[in-house]
Structure 1
Amino acid sequence: MSFNFKEVERVENISAKDFQKYYVKPQKPVVVERITEDWPAYEKWNFEYIKQIAGEKEVPLYNNDPVDFTKKVNEPVARMQMSDYVDLLQDKPTDLRIFLYNLMSQVPQLQNDYKMPDLGLNLFKSMPMLFFGGEGSNVFMHYDIDLANILHFHFAGEKRCIIVPPQDSKYMYKIPHSVICREDIDFDNPDFDKWPALKNINPMYADLKHGEMLYMPEGWWHYMKYLSPGFSMSLRSLAHKPKNLSEAVYNVFLMRTYDNIMRKIKGQNWINYKNEQAILKTNKLILR
C-alpha cells in the first residue's frame, strides 16, 4: 500500500498577478514549466559547465545518516573537489549530496546565468542556494526552518518532489523542537502498520525536469529524490502570514538554540527522547 498522491498543478508560464492570485495568496503549490527558458542557465547549466567553472572548489557533502548528538546541525560528512564530485555523480549512484550551498558566493560568474523571476515575491537576491544529488539519493522529509516561500528550479536530469501541506503536520511524526519527522519513515514505501497516522496525510508530487520550477508555499513539508543525477537552485521569500513569520523567528532564535543546549546537556538521551515523543504524540491523535 502506498500514498494516494495528487499531482501538483502545472502551467507553462504565468504572470506575477496570476501567480499571486492563484498560488501565493491561497498558498497552493504549482510547477511552472518554461520559466527559465530565457535564462543563460537553461542552455549552460549542465555537469560539464559546473566542472569547468567551479571544478577546483572544495564542497561540503552530506548523506542521510541518522541525527547524532555529537554532530552540529548541517555538519558535512565529507568534503571533495567539485570536479571529483561531479565525476562521482556521473559514474555511479551515491548518497552523497550537496545541500543548501551558496556556490555563487565563491563563483560569482554563476550569478550572470539566471534572472530573478518576476512573480511578485520579494526574493532574497543574496541567497540562491544550490543542491546536487546522484541517482537514487534523497533529501529527508522536512520543512524549512524559516517557513519561507520557496522557488525550486531543477537542472540536468529529473527529480521527484513529494510535498505535504502544513495542516497535516500533526500526522507526520514530527520530532519535537525540530523541523523534521522520524528519519526511519520510508516515504517511497510507507509502512502504515508502523506509522498509521500517515494514512491521514494528503501528499502531492511533482516530477521536475531540466528548467522547471516548483513553488512550495510557507511551511510545506518536502522530500526530494533524484531520479537521475542532477542539481537544483532555490530562491526564497520571507513568510507573508504573520503567524508563520513569528514562528520562523521562534524557530531560528529560540527553538534551535534550546535544542542545541539540550543536546550538549543530555546527549543521545535527548535524541532518543524526542524520537519517542514523536510516536507517542502522533499516535495519540488517531486513538482519540
Structure 2
Amino acid sequence: MKLKLQDIPRVKTITKTNFIKHYFKPQKPVVIERFIDDWPAYSKWNLDYIKDVAGDITVPLYDDRPVDYKDGFNEPHAKMKMADYIDLLKREPTKYRIFLWNILKEIPQLQKDFKFPDFGLRLMKGIPMLFFGGEDSHTFMHYDIDLANIFHFHFEGKKQCILFNQEQTPYLYKIPHSLITREDINFKSPDFEKWPVLKKAKGYVTELNHGEVLYMPEGYWHYMRYITPGFSMSLRAIARNPKNLRKAIYNILVMRHFDNIMRRIKGQQWIDWKNEQAIVKTHKHFNT
C-alpha cells in the first residue's frame, strides 16, 4: 500500500490573474515549468557556479538525525566550506543538507541572477533562502514556522516533493509544540502497520526539475527528497488567511521559545514525551 497522493498540476507558464484565480485563492499547489527561462540563473546556476562564487563561505549543515534536547531551534549539526560541501555532494551520497541559507546576506551579487516575480503577492525580498542536498537526502515532513506562501525554485538535478495541507494534520503524527511529524516515519515508503492512521492522509506529489517552480500554499506540510544532488531557492509571502497569520505569530513569539525552555528544564525527557504524545494523541483520536 502507498500514500494517497495525487500529482500536483503542471502548467508551462501562468499569468498573475490565472495564478490568483486557480491556485492562490483556492490554496492549491501548482508546478510552473517555464517561468524562469529568462533569468540568468536559469543558465548559470548549478553546483559548480555556486562553488565559484561562494566556495570560501562556511555554511551550516543539517542531517536526518533524531532531535536531541541539546539542539537549539534549527541549530546546525555541522559546518563546512561551501567548496568542500559541493565536492562532497558530487562525490558521494550524503545526508548533509543546507537549510535556510540567505543568499542576499552572504553573496549579494547573486541578486543579479534572478527577479522577484509578480504573482500578485507581496514577496519578502530580504530573505530569499537556498536549500542544498545530496543524493537521497531528505527533510523531515514539516511546515514552515510562518505558514507563508512559498515559491520553491529548483536548480540542477531532480527533487521529489510530497505535500499535505493543514487539514491532513490529524493523520500525520504531528509532534506537539513543534512543526514536524514523527521523524522515524519514512514518507518515501511508510510502514502502515506502525503508522496506521497515515493511510487516511491525502496529499500531493511531484518531481521538480531544473528551472521549475513549485507553489506551496500557506502552511502546507512538505517533505523534500533529493533524487540527485541539487539545490533550490524559496521566495515567500506572508500568510493572508487570518487564522494562519495568528498561528504564525504564535509559533514565532511563543511556541519555539516555550519548546527551547522545556528542553533546558526537562532535557531528553521532554523530547521523548513529545514523540510519545504524537502517537498517543493520533491513535486515541481515531481509536486505533
- TM-score by structure 2 length? 0.98
Determine the C-alpha separation between the residues in 2 that align with 1:5 and 1:106: 37
Equivalent residue letter for 1:146:
D
Q: Which residue of 2 aligns with 1:84?
A: 84
Structure 1: any 5+ residue segments left out of the alignment?
A: none
Verify: 1:259 aligned to 2:259, yes or no. Answer: yes
Runs of 4 or more above 4 Å deviation: none
Aligned residues of 2:104 and 2:126 also touching (Cα < 8 A): no
In the TM superposition, what is the alpha-carbon distance from 1:103 to its structure 2 partner? 2.7
2: CA distance, partners of 1:176 / 1:226: 27
Instruction: Provide Cα deviations, 1:117-173, integer angstroms capped at 9, x if missing partner.
Output: 111010000110000001110011000011000000000000000111110001110
Q: Alignment partner of 2:183: what SS?
A: coil
Aligned position for 2:156: 156
Q: How many residues align?
A: 288
Structure 2 CA distance, aligned partners of 1:287 and 1:276?
Answer: 16
State the shift of 1:4 in Å: 2.7
User: Distance in 1 between the 2:272 and 2:92 partners?
Assistant: 34
1:128-147 equivalence runs, <5 A: 128-147=128-147
Aligned identity (percent) is 58
Shift in Å, 1:48: 1.3
What letter is aligned with 2:197?
Answer: A
Match of 2:2 in 1: 2
Mapped partners of 2:280, 2:78: distance in 1: 35
SS of alignment partner, residue 208 of structure 1: strand
Q: Structure 2: which amino acid aligns with 1:121?
A: L
Give me the TM-score of the superposition, normalised by structure 1: 0.98
Does residue 227 of the first structure (1) align with residue 227 of the second (2)? yes
Q: Secondary structure at the residue paired with 2:139?
A: strand
Secondary structure of residue in 2 paired with 1:51: helix
Amino acid at match of 2:168: D
CA contact (8 A) 2:73 2:256 kept: no
Shift of 1:202: 0.5
What is the rounded CA distance, in whole Å, between the counterparts of 2:204 and 2:172 in structure 1?
14
Q: Is the 8 A contact 2:156 2:209 kept in 1?
A: yes
State how far apart, in whole Å, the 2-side matches of 1:2 and 1:264 are. 39
SS at match of 1:181: coil
Query: Where does 1:1-288 land on structure 2 (aligned, <5 Å)?
Result: 1-287=1-287
Between the aligned partners of 2:229 and 2:247, the Cα distance in structure 1 is: 35
Query: What SS does the aligned partner of 1:203 have?
Result: strand
Letter of the 1:30 counterpart: V
Could you tell me which amino acid in structure 2 is paired with residue 84 of structure 1? D
